[in-house]
Structure 1
Amino acid sequence: MKGLAFSALALSQRFSIITVLQSTLAMQRGHVLSYGLSESFASIRAVDCNVADLGNLDVVVARTFEQALKAVREDGAQSLLLGCTGFVDVAGRVATLLEETLGSYVPVIDPNQAGFGFLVSLVRMKLRPSRLTYSKITTF
């Protein structure tokens, strides 16, 4: 989550998280606090959709758009981070709806694409973890 939050902050000054269930709000708020990002954090909102129901894309997009619009208008979010890897094919559709409604582009970050894209960029740059931080031999 930390890397994804910094992706949002590379694109804006304040971000909100859109997640699936109310039960995950405290955990994700805790992440924001532990990463020291409270000043840049606008809000966290839930779409109240069980993970099993994420296959109904039209419903998920509608609920996500509703919460995303509230995060922007009411909470001051300038970018949005989807807080569940089950939000497949949602980010682009929500970003389009937001732009049509607000008349301005608001980045909506898909955690799957952002995470995979970051890993691909590391491989392309031939980068790997520092051996000064992570030794080859781990002892327990």
Structure 2
Amino acid sequence: MTKPIIEDALTNLYCGMNFPKTLVMADLGCSSGPNTLLVASELIKSIHEIRLKLGHDESPEIQFYLNDLPHNDFNTLFLSVSKFQKNLTQPPCYFFGVPGSFYTRLFLNKSLHFVHSSYSLMWLSKVTSLSIHTRTHT
């Protein structure tokens, strides 16, 4: 259901700026199970298809941050990444782990082009209370 929305957002990103040679993306709350790299796979495929449709010759390199809480099984996650990268044909894709809650700051200002999270809305009340708490103590 989200694929058309993601493709539209990526197309707008691709058309709306001088597209960077390195595209920086993040998957917040990535987990470490069998579907962990499904989002990355779909994003990479979409970027490739959009690039071809728009007639761009060169694929951007993709820097992909995988985020989850520190107790996530990052060892299993990176074993999956290693296998995933061997099957990639294009574009070049580099993965990094970012442990921590996505309710706190995880990345540098203006350092990401695209952020995805499959399961963040169910925690929205916690974000609201966190942002109110943060505002009153800063």
Q: TM over 0.5, yes or no? A: no
**TM-score where L is the length of structure 1:** 0.34
**TM-score where L is the length of structure 2:** 0.34
